[in-house]
Structure 1
Amino acid sequence: MASLPDYRPKQLSLGPLESEILGIVQALGSATVKDIHERILADPDRELAYASVTTILNRLAQKGWLACDRQKRAFLWRALISREEAQAIEAHDRLQKFLAVGNPDVVAAFADSLDRASLDKLEAIAQRLQAARQAREER
């Protein structure tokens, strides 16, 4: 289970191409523009200019998702957080928005539409919350 990282990107929202390129960098660990461009063009149905990849990488750096290191004559891009950390941040952000509704009846109103697996997940979450609450009280 990934915990919330101390570092958080400046801007969480990403477009589809930004998400795809971030995923490639995270999967590779670090990558050049050429590495990413070739990975995308491996799909024969895709077209994307090399300069567009560079533009997206710069945007991801501005948003706080990537950093760039110069290695001799090449620029090497690396993710500042892992895929698991990104998922934890996204889940936390969505949970905060969900809880901002404030009225428990409104929040619980969707319960009738959940399947058994979803209800089991919610029960597991409730048990973990209870354990966390007990651990805090014991301190």
Structure 2
Amino acid sequence: MGEDTDGAQQRPRTRRRGQGELESQVLALLQRAEAPTTAGWLQQHLDGDLAYTTVVTILSRLHAKGAVHRNRAGRSYVWLAAADEAGLAALRMRRVLDSGTNRDAVLASFVSTLSPHDEQLLRTLLNEAGPQSDDHPPRTPKD
């Protein structure tokens, strides 16, 4: 560690993660876990020096998004993945769509930016899903 001009010790700088990167890492680790896991276990198995409270915050955010489930285990929780990375991205997309004031414009803008391959894939997926009504939640794709 070096000293700054005042003689104080400087900590080595660590790379700052991109938005959503830590959530993706936590979700990927939960998916690889053989059983529901604790925040402490996740903290030990994640890259870097993360505080326990940081891991719990990320888990709480993922829980609020519906990407993870939690079950009481004594005074704390055990956590398990409810969605994979694609599912998490879909949840984010849905949240953006739901927060917009003009859904039609948001969808039209999104579709207009799709590549021909992605547009065809979307058409295929919509055809496979069949007609939807406002009374029924969207179906999840078949595995």
TM-score, reference length from structure 2:
0.48
**1 or 2, which has the higher helix percentage?**
1
Q: Relative contact order, CA 8 A, sep 6+: which one is greater?
A: 1
